Each structure stands twice: as C-alpha cells, then as structure tokens.
Structure 1
Amino acid sequence: MEQTEEKKDAVRANQLQAFNRLLDIMDDLREKCPWDRKQTIASLRHLTIEETYELSDAIIRDDMQDLKKEIGDVMLHLVFYAKIASETNTFNLAEVLNTLCDKLVFRHPHIYGNTQANTDEEVKQNWEKLKIKEGNKSVLGGVPVSLPALVKAMRIQEKARGAGFDWEEKEQVWQKVQEELQEFESEFNQPDLNQVDLEKATGEFGDLLFSLVNFARFIQINPEEALEKTNLKFIKRFQYMEEESAKEGKNLATMSLAEMDVYWERAKQY
C-alpha cells in the first residue's frame, strides 16, 4: 500500500511539473510571440471549436496517439483563455479550477455528503435537481444554444430524463417513431410534389428525427456517433468507386447509376 501511495505521489508530482511547464510557456508566448500576443478570447473561439472537432475525430477513429495530441491542443486553448482573462484581472486559472472543484463537490453529495445514489440514473437525477438549486430556471437551461441539432436533441432528452420525464419501455418509444413516420409520410402523400406544404413537412421530419434520437438514446446508442460512422463508411466506399472506376478509364460523372452500382457493391466488400 505504501509503495502504491509513493507511486501515486510521484505521478502527481510529474503531472504538476508538466502543467507548470505549460503555464510558463503560455506566459512566454503571450509576452514574446506576435501571434499569441494578438489573440483575444473572441479570436480563439473558432479555433477552439475546430480543435474540439479534431478531438472528436480522434475518439471516433480510436486513435490514442492522436487523441493524446488533441487533448493537449484543447488544454492549451483553455489555459490561453484563462491567461487572457487574468491580464484584465477578470479571473485567473486558479479561480477557474477552484470554481470547478467546488461545483464537482456540490454536485456529488453521494461522495462528499450524505445523499444516497447507487446507480448512474440516480446520480443524473440528483445532478439536475442540484442545477436548479444553483439558479438554473429550467432543467433545459444548460443546453448550449449553438450545439449541432442532433447533439442538442440528445442532450435535451437526457436532461428531461434526469428530471423524470421519459418513457418507461422501449416499445413505447418505437411506437412513437412509427407514429411520427406515418405523419411525415402523410405530408408527402400527394400526387404532385408541388402540392406538398414544405413547412409542415419540415416540421414532421424534425419530429421524426427527434423520435429516432430518442429511441437511440433509450437503447443506449449514441446517434451522433452512429451517424458519423455511417458518414465515414460512405466516404470510404465512394472514394473506392472513384479510384476503381478511374483505374478502368471511367468517370463517375459520365456513368449510369447501374454502372456505378457495380462499383458500389465491390466497395461494400472492400
């Protein structure tokens, strides 16, 4: 046990040394580098979004080496924001971390208090109740407005579940999917597409997507991850079609759908 504690202390010391090195480098860059000195919180925003997506890509690819690099890139941005804020005495990194620690302690009373929570669902329900105590007017108030719609739908449903608003059985959710599919289909059940009310059809399509996301969540499938894997699979197969047809002196743009389908079936076996 003593050796384990010694090893833990050594690892922690190494972590703190590395983090301190990052803070020193950030100080140097902010003082000496023209590009870093020019940056503002607003100018870094779109770069942070890009880095976050690159982190997500590494996770989907299960590329641990790339993941290590992308975690570092995101961490740099977080330190950068805190550094800029400290220059105007708005807040500093210590305040950021202590605020985070205080929030984690407050939101985990089953660890740091007397509350009982034996399952992850009980933890989520307590979490949402505590957020309301913190001042959130709505359980859904913490869902970022700028989230992509598919991810936002999942987070909305997760938060509603945390408040106790959810289906009881997966069959109920699937029945809702079927209901929304029929309502969407009825909007297009016209002899002439020009007679379709696109505004109503768009609304019904949104309801259908929302119900599918709900079903995926209910059976523990991440819809964002599932769709991205399908995107990557389609890209791989389509690029195979392009490459193989080019080897045979053909161009997809001049091929019939039947001709392309031959390459598509080959791509599925690739």
Structure 2
Amino acid sequence: MQPSRDISRLIEIMAALRNPVGGCPWDLEQDFSSIRHYTIEEAYEVADAIERADFADLREELGDLLLQPIYHAQMASELGQFDIGDVIYGITEKLIRRHPHVFGDMDASSSNAAKGRWEAIKAEERAAKAARKGETTPSILDDVPNVLPALARAEKLTKRAAKVGFDWPDFQAVQAKVEEELAEVAEAQASGNAAAVHEEIGDLLFAVANLARHAGIDAEAALRDANYKFTRRFHHVEARCREDSIEPGEAGLERLDRYWNEVRAADKA
C-alpha cells in the first residue's frame, strides 16, 4: 500500500484498517460513539491552524479531518446503511440544489440575493425533513445542533428566531437586557440559591451571545480571542515571577497584578 493523491486510496486504507482479517485491532474496536469526539477535535484543530495562518499545519489537519467522514462512512457501510459514495452524492446534490443561480436558470445578482435563496431552500428542506419524521409543524429552530459550543448555539438560535421577527429592536435594547440579567445574577447570588445562580448566569451568557450577534461579532470567536489574550498575558506574569525568582503561588495578588498591568499597558501602547 502506497500513499496517493487520489481519495480512493484513503478509502482503501480505511477499509483495510477495519478488515476483520489483518486489520488494526484498535480501529476494529471503534464505533460511531467512540470516535465522534475525534471528529469535533479535528475540526477545532483545523480552525486553530487557520487562525495561526500555519498552512503546513492546515494541510495536515485537513487530512486528519478528511479521515473522519471516511471512517464513519466505512462503519456505516459495514452495517449496510450507506457508503462514502452516498455521502458524496448527497452533498453534491445539495450544493447543486441550493445554488440554482449557478447551476440553474435563476438569477442572483448579489450575495444577499444568493443568501436569501439559500435560506428559502433550507426552509423547504427543514419542512421536508419534518414531513419524513411525521412532524406537520417543523420548528425554525430544527437542525440547530445540540452539540455546538454553547455560545455558538445561542447565537444561532437567536439568529433563527430573528428571522420571524422575534428579536430585540437594536443593540441598546439587548445591552439593557444584559444589564438586567447581570442584576439578576447578583440578586440570585445574594439569596444563596446555587440553582438560581446557575440559571441566571446561563441567562446572562445567552444575552451576551445575543449582544454579540447584534454587534456583528462572532461570540465564540471573541471568547476564543479573549482566552488567547489571557493566556499570553498570564505567560508574561509567570515569566516575570521567574525573573524575580519567586513562585507565582507565593508572589501575592499585588505583585501578580503589577506584572499583569505591565503587559496590559504594553498591549495598549
């Protein structure tokens, strides 16, 4: 078996790994549930390579991600459900159907017009999917995946609801809602009711995700960037502790805060 640029070789390798005769014992033990977290992890690693603009890593991570649908399709094929050809046919059919302005005779002179047609087709698809399941009244929130990161899902849910007019009128109204939710967190905390604090902090985070959407900001990306910034700044704090020959846990808040403010000031310079 030799590497190849042809995707059929990857399919052959996956089939060999899953072959009960001579296959890989680890791969043979896996099922859809046991490898699903790898699918999610690989997608995040692709996103990380993109954010770092590391094209060598991106090439490798895209390969790791590509393996995931091949793996799942191989297991489905073994169960007689579908194979990778069915997967490829399905996505090509969907792309052609959702782009009649490219592959048909419909005109879409702008990106907004193309997006509008895309959304209309997706609504038709949701209705058809609901009909197949025996549901006569599909929800506009259908097919927003439960496994999305919570902030990303909150943003998507509010975006869907906004399509039918269920939305705050402007940024200022959402900002007021955030302030209201923050006050309710404080009230719940003062009551000593842990369940209420849990609920109110959830409401606050949901309102913040909505605020980000109204500002045109990707809440999930904004939080990732904030995590990165905190990590970078805290690394500076640790480095300054090493320079002063003191352990971070023994430095005290005043000293740690001074180091933190150094890097904050440098960021703003």
Tell me whether the two structures share a fold, i.e. TM-score over 0.5. yes
> Hey, what does 1:47 align to over in structure 2?
38
Alignment of 1:251-262 (within 5 A): 251-262=247-258
- Normalising by structure 1, we get a TM-score of 0.80
> Hey, what does 1:22 align to over in structure 2?
10
Distance 1:117 1:157, change over 3 A: farther
- Is 1:75 paired with 2:66? yes
**Deviation digits for residues 153-191 of structure 1, max 9, x if unmatched?**
122233345x353769xxx4321233213322443666x
> Hey, what does 1:64 align to over in structure 2?
55
- Equivalent-residue separation in structure 2 for 1:215 and 1:120 (angstroms): 25
Structure 2 residues not aligned, in runs of 5+:
131-137
> Hey, what does 2:150 align to over in structure 1?
149
> Hey, what does 1:84 align to over in structure 2?
75
Alignment of 1:53-202 (within 5 A): 53-134=44-125, 135=128, 136=130, 137-161=138-162, 163-165=163-165, 172-187=169-184, 193-195=189-191, 202=198
Alignment of 1:176-255 (within 5 A): 176-187=173-184, 193-195=189-191, 202-255=198-251
Match of 1:221, SS state, is coil
Deviation at 1:37, TM superposition (A): 2.4
Deviation at 1:69, TM superposition (A): 0.9
Distance 1:193 1:48, change over 3 A: closer
- Equivalent-residue separation in structure 2 for 1:146 and 1:254 (angstroms): 40
- Equivalent-residue separation in structure 2 for 1:100 and 1:71 (angstroms): 18
For residue 158 of structure 1, what is the amino acid of its counterpart?
Answer: K
- Is 1:266 paired with 2:262? yes
**Deviation digits for residues 133-152 of structure 1, max 9, x if unmatched?**
22241221010012121010
Deviation at 1:247, TM superposition (A): 2.8
Deviation at 1:252, TM superposition (A): 2.1
Distance 1:78 1:188, change over 3 A: closer
Higher mean C-alpha deviation, range 90-99 or range 151-160: 151-160
Structure having the higher helix fraction is: 1
Distance 1:187 1:28, change over 3 A: closer
- Aligned-residue CA RMSD (Å): 2.8
Higher mean C-alpha deviation, range 121-130 or range 139-148: 121-130
User: Contact conserved, 1:83 with 1:93, CA < 8 A, in 2?
Assistant: yes
Match of 1:143, SS state, is coil
Q: How many residues align?
A: 250
Deviation at 1:234, TM superposition (A): 0.5
Q: Among the aligned pairs, what percent are the same residue?
A: 35
Structure 1 residues not aligned, in runs of 5+:
1-15
Distance 1:193 1:211, change over 3 A: closer
For residue 222 of structure 2, what is the amino acid of its counterpart?
Answer: A
Deviation at 1:222, TM superposition (A): 1.4
- Equivalent-residue separation in structure 2 for 1:46 and 1:237 (angstroms): 30
For residue 150 of structure 2, what is the amino acid of its counterpart?
Answer: A
Deviation at 1:61, TM superposition (A): 2.1
User: Contact conserved, 2:178 with 2:208, CA < 8 A, in 1?
Assistant: no
User: Contact conserved, 2:100 with 2:106, CA < 8 A, in 1?
Assistant: yes
> Hey, what does 1:33 align to over in structure 2?
24
**Deviation digits for residues 209-261 of structure 1, max 9, x if unmatched?**
33432343334321111110110111111122112202312122222322112
For residue 19 of structure 1, what is the amino acid of its counterpart?
Answer: I
- Equivalent-residue separation in structure 1 for 2:115 and 2:166 (angstroms): 13
